Amino acid sequence: PEIMVTAAKWALLGALGTGLMFSRGVAFVTTSGSSMVPTINDTSNTSVLLVDVFSAVTNIKKNDIVLCHDPEECEGFIVKRVTAMAGQFVQLDPHEEPGPYVARHSYEGRLSVPTGYCWVEGDNRSTSHDSRAFGPIPLGLVKGRALCRIFPWPKVLLKSE
């Protein structure tokens, strides 16, 4: 009985995902690592996300979880939370060790995100390699917005400000 319930859940998710792929333009993305704990990889080291890849980057906003090309490794991708958009200020934690970018570019404990960029950070700041190290991400590197985690068990990832 439990196997049938699990199979039914996966069949429903598959149908949902297939429908979204044709109507919305989504991709399934596998993530690993601890930089987004507890939001994404909270019960497993690997998760599968449903990512909207056809939304214009102009629709990206603060608190969205995004899939981006890794700015330091051209073949890689990263999944992080947008914490500031162009024109907004990033307030730095004085008790936290600043990353290389922050150490060079901050002024009086904050810095501004330039036009055409966004600032991304992992939810698990102690293990995340993010904008604090490499700086703001050009919006052209943002490839999509995470809609939900579908494995280990579905979890909606969209947040409102």
Q: Catalytic positions, please?
A: 35, 80
Round to whole Å and give the CA distance between 147 and 23: 14
DSSP state letter for 57: G
Q: Record the tokens describing residue 7, joined without a space.
A: 């199979």
Structure tokens at 128: 């995340």
Encoded tokens for 78: 């990263």
Tokens of 151: 């494995």
